[in-house]
């Protein structure tokens, strides 16, 4: 696709505002029956059970077999497990896990059966049986990103963005609701506030340089440029309550929604920049604070609310990082297997523990975090460590796994 500073009508037309309209909250028992009236709890899906707290699940991709297995942290027991031949990586939208496999193979999906739906000053928490989502070869391959309302699948080989609606997915219906043509490049598409943000690149062999959008209320389904949305050598993204972040060679691009109108602004690196550029983001879902590795020198801490990036020097090169935000430390794992907790105000190490074996070539630990705990795994072990990051990185529990966790994700938040 050739991009111009004008509107361009897509060949495929669909109003992106045809999302599910959910009724107001109602007081329901924990075991929620399928509703037959307008008193439907916010985020309810037929067959689900409402709970009093988030029903999180840990899911890992085994390094030795390609098997994907779920753990219930409440019991520490493994449950749902399935083999996905050729599986290489996992991503998720809080409920559905998207499994990348060999190049050009159709995307695989797993419904972890747990999700949280925010509603004003409170949230609703649901659970249902986990299962593999039945798909077919018509579902495209690519990078899948979801925001709880839509899933955008970007196919790098064609540049096409395929949109799935969560309303249909939650009913077990898997079909492409909208196909947005483009040109091949190493890019991505991000659903946000009813819009879809799509990268563009000057050549198929180059990284994206800008972000465009399909508008939520645009019945023509046209693609628009965003003022100030240039992002040289774009890599990585994150969805926060303040906007969508994209890693650029000259800083972080933040695209925000202002009463239905998208705006873009650049958050620059510190003037004294001792680290390499941001290429990916890690954070607790819903948090406005994020981390990113800064090459071998340390890590970046980004506060989206304050639109500020700061550098934290590390005692050694780091392999993984994340943060829960809200005054909690930035967490990271070094090549020696040492886990660090950095104070994001003083930028100093406030705790450190040797918890993993030293890294070997090609081995990268996984580190995920929620409001209470962090979970740590390593592809050479058969354990997942639960850490209390508020208590000097205390190991609260250890889960023994059937496989070797090459990648770990947490859903239900």
Across 53-69, average pLDDT: 92
Tokens read off for 70: 């779920």
Nearest one of 337, 376, 338, 382 to 360, comparing CA atoms: 337
Quote the mean pLDDT of the chain. Answer: 87
- In angstroms, the CA 200 to CA 32 distance is 45
pLDDT at 377: 96
- List of residues 6+ apart from 210 with CB closer than 8 A: 3, 199, 200, 225, 226, 229, 230, 231, 234
Highest mean pLDDT among 21-25, 327-331, 356-360: 327-331
Q: Cβ distance 336 to 358 under 8 Å? A: yes
Radius of gyration (Cα) for the chain, nearest Å? 21
> CA angle, 337 as apex, 333 and 341 as ends, to 5°?
35
Predicted TM-score (pTM) of the model is: 0.87
Choice among 43-57, 119-133, 138-152, 214-228 with the minimum mean pLDDT? 214-228
Would you tell me how many other CB atoms lie within 10 Å of the CB of residue 220? Answer: 14
- In angstroms, the CA 83 to CA 132 distance is 10
Helix (H, G, I), strand (E, B) or coil at 166: helix
If you count DSSP H runs as helices and E runs as strands, how many of each does the chain have, helices first? Answer: 1, 34
Burial class (CB in 10 A: 0-12, 13-18, 19+), 300: buried
Comparing 7 with 313, which gets the higher pLDDT? 313
What percentage of the chain has pLDDT greater than the value 70?
86
Tokens read off for 390: 């508020």
314 pLDDT higher than 70: yes
Q: Cβ distance 169 to 96 under 8 Å? A: yes
pLDDT at 25: 43
What percentage of the chain has pLDDT greater than the value 90?
66
Q: Cβ distance 320 to 356 under 8 Å? A: no
> Confidence class of residue 36 from pLDDT cuts 50, 70 and 90?
very low
135 pLDDT higher than 90: no
Q: For 133, phi and psi rounded to 5 degrees?
A: -80, 125
- List of residues 6+ apart from 387 with CB closer than 8 A: 331, 339, 355, 373, 374, 375, 376, 393, 394, 395, 396
Tokens read off for 340: 């660090």
Choice among 33-42, 50-59, 191-200, 266-275 with the minimum mean pLDDT? 33-42
Across 122-137, average pLDDT: 87
- In angstroms, the CA 410 to CA 70 distance is 9
Helix (H, G, I), strand (E, B) or coil at 237: strand
- In angstroms, the CA 390 to CA 372 distance is 8
pLDDT at 115: 93
> Confidence class of residue 12 from pLDDT cuts 50, 70 and 90?
very low
> Confidence class of residue 321 from pLDDT cuts 50, 70 and 90?
very high
pLDDT at 42: 61
pLDDT at 222: 66
9 pLDDT higher than 80: no
End-to-end Cα distance, the chain: 37
Instruction: Give the count of alpha carbons within 13 A of 130, CB side only.
Output: 25
pLDDT digits (tens, 9 = 90+) for 203-262: 888 899 999 998 765 545 567 889 999 999 999 999 999 999 999 999 999 999 988 889
388 pLDDT higher than 50: yes
Tokens read off for 385: 């460590």
Instruction: List 290's β-bridge partners, or say none.
Output: 302
Residues 177, 182, 183, 184: is their CA dihedral positive or negative? negative
Comparing 25 with 116, which gets the higher pLDDT? 116
- In angstroms, the CA 350 to CA 392 distance is 8
2 pLDDT higher than 90: no
Across 122-135, average pLDDT: 90
- List of residues 6+ apart from 326 with CB closer than 8 A: 287, 289
Tokens read off for 85: 């031949």
- DSSP string covering 304-348: TTTTEEEEEE-SS-EEEEEE--TTPPEEEEETTSEEEEE-TTT-S
| Helix, strand, coil percentages for the chain (3-state, nearest 5) | 0, 45, 55
40 pLDDT higher than 80: no
Comparing 161 with 361, which gets the higher pLDDT? 161
pLDDT digits (tens, 9 = 90+) for 253-298: 999 998 888 999 999 999 888 889 999 999 998 899 999 999 999 9
């Amino acid at each position: 696709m050739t991009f111009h500073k004008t509107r361009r009508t897509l060949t495929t037309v669909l109003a992106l505002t045809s999302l599910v309209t959910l009724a107001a909250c109602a007081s329901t028992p924990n075991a929620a029956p399928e509703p037959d009236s307008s008193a439907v709890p916010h985020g309810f899906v037929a067959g689900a059970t409402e709970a009093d707290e988030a029903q999180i699940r840990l899911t890992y991709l085994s390094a030795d077999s390609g098997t994907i297995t779920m753990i219930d942290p409440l019991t520490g027991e493994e449950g749902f497990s399935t083999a996905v031949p050729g599986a290489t990586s996992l991503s998720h939208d809080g409920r559905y896990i998207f499994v990348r496999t060999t190049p050009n193979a159709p995307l695989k999906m797993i419904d972890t059966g747990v999700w949280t739906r925010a509603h004003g000053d409170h949230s609703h928490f649901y659970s249902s049986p986990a299962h593999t989502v039945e798909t077919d070869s018509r579902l495209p391959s690519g990078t899948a990103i979801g925001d709880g309302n839509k899933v955008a699948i970007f196919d790098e080989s064609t540049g096409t963005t395929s949109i799935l609606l969560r309303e249909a997915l939650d009913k077990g219906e898997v079909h492409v609701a909208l196909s947005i043509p483009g040109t091949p490049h190493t890019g991505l598409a991000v659903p946000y506030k009813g819009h879809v943000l799509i990268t563009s690149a000057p050549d198929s062999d180059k990284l994206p340089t800008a972000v465009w959008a399909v508008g939520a209320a645009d019945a023509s389904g046209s693609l628009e440029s965003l003022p100030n949305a240039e992002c040289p050598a774009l890599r990585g993204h994150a969805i926060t309550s303040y906007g969508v972040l994209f890693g650029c060679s000259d800083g972080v691009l933040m695209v925000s929604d202002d009463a239905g109108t998208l705006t873009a602004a650049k958050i620059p690196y510190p003037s004294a920049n001792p680290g390499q550029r941001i290429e990916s983001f890690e954070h607790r879902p819903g948090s406005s604070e994020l981390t990113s590795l800064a090459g071998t020198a340390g890590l970046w801490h980004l506060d989206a609310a304050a639109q500020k990036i700061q550098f934290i020097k590390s005692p050694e090169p780091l392999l993984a990082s994340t943060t829960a935000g809200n005054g909690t430390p930035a967490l990271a794992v070094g090549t020696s297997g040492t886990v660090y907790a950095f104070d994001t105000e003083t930028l100093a190490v406030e705790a450190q523990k040797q918890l993993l074996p030293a890294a070997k070539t090609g081995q990268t630990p996984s580190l995920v975090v929620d409001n209470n705990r962090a979970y740590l795994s390593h592809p050479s072990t058969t354990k997942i460590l639960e850490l209390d990051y508020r208590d000097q990185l205390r190991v609260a529990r250890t889960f023994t796994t059937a496989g070797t966790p090459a990648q770990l994700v947490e859903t239900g938040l």
